[in-house]
Amino acid sequence: MQHPDSQVNDLEINPNSQMVAACGYQHIRMYDLASANPDPVMNFEGVIKNVSRVGFQENGQWMYTGGEDCTARIWDLRAGRPFQCQQIFQVPAPVNAVVLHPDQSQIMVGGQSGIIHIWDLKTDHNEQLIPEAESSIQDIAIDPEGKMMAAVNNKGNCYVWSLGGSPP
């Protein structure tokens, strides 16, 4: 695969293992894993800063990203449709971490403000957790059953929450 444009900040293989998404400075590239063609098969270059995280919905119908433009985004990937942003969630600081809850209904967004935003995709409602103010959230993880969530900040502190089937 060719990716000469910039550094790659994150990679994710789609659920059917046919494509890989690579995100970097001002773009997202999709590559066909079964093809000998090293060039991307889909491109999006409309983001104004670094795209730092990428992931897929469990059926591969949409992809989510987060980046330095202070947004988390959902991209429609269904066949026959142009590669386009479907939803945008604005936060007050650059995004470092984005993770989809296993039930596919919420995206957890962590960033340099120290806030973890819990974005409900059905209602577009946002709840917030602030484990340590002004300490950048570096990463977020959720267990496969969606019962526990952990986050780590730039000071090396790790926080763990019980999700208990509802937002923390």
> 35, 49, 37, 66: which is closest to 7 by C-alpha?
49
The CATH number linked to 86 is 2.130.10.10
Task: Give the start-end residues of each E strand in 68-147.
Answer: 71-76, 84-90, 95-100, 106-111, 116-120, 126-129, 137-142
Q: In angstroms, rounded to a whole number, what is the distance separating the alpha carbons of residues 132 and 52?
A: 22
pTM of the model: 0.90
Question: Would residue 166 count as lying in a domain?
Answer: no
Domain carrying residue 77 = 8-138
Burial class (CB in 10 A: 0-12, 13-18, 19+), 78: exposed
Question: Would residue 3 count as lying in a domain?
Answer: no
Per-position pLDDT tens, the chain of length 168: 766 777 899 999 999 999 999 999 998 999 999 998 888 888 887 788 999 999 999 999 999 999 999 999 999 888 666 677 889 999 999 999 999 999 999 999 999 999 999 999 999 999 999 999 889 999 999 999 999 999 999 999 999 999 875 444
Residue 167 pLDDT: 47
The total of other beta-carbon atoms located within 10 Å of residue 161's CB is 16
Q: What is the pLDDT of residues 34-77, one digit of tens each?
A: 998 888 888 887 788 999 999 999 999 999 999 999 999 999 88
What is the C-alpha radius of gyration for the chain, rounded to an integer number of angstroms? 16
Question: Would residue 59 count as lying in a domain?
Answer: yes
CA dihedral of 125, 154, 68, 160, whole degrees rounded to 10? -30
Q: In angstroms, rounded to a whole number, what is the distance separating the alpha carbons of residues 109 and 34?
A: 32
Residue 149 pLDDT: 97
- Report the number of distinct structural domains present in the chain: 1
Question: Would residue 134 count as lying in a domain?
Answer: yes
Q: In angstroms, rounded to a whole number, what is the distance separating the alpha carbons of residues 40 and 29?
A: 6
Question: Would residue 131 count as lying in a domain?
Answer: yes
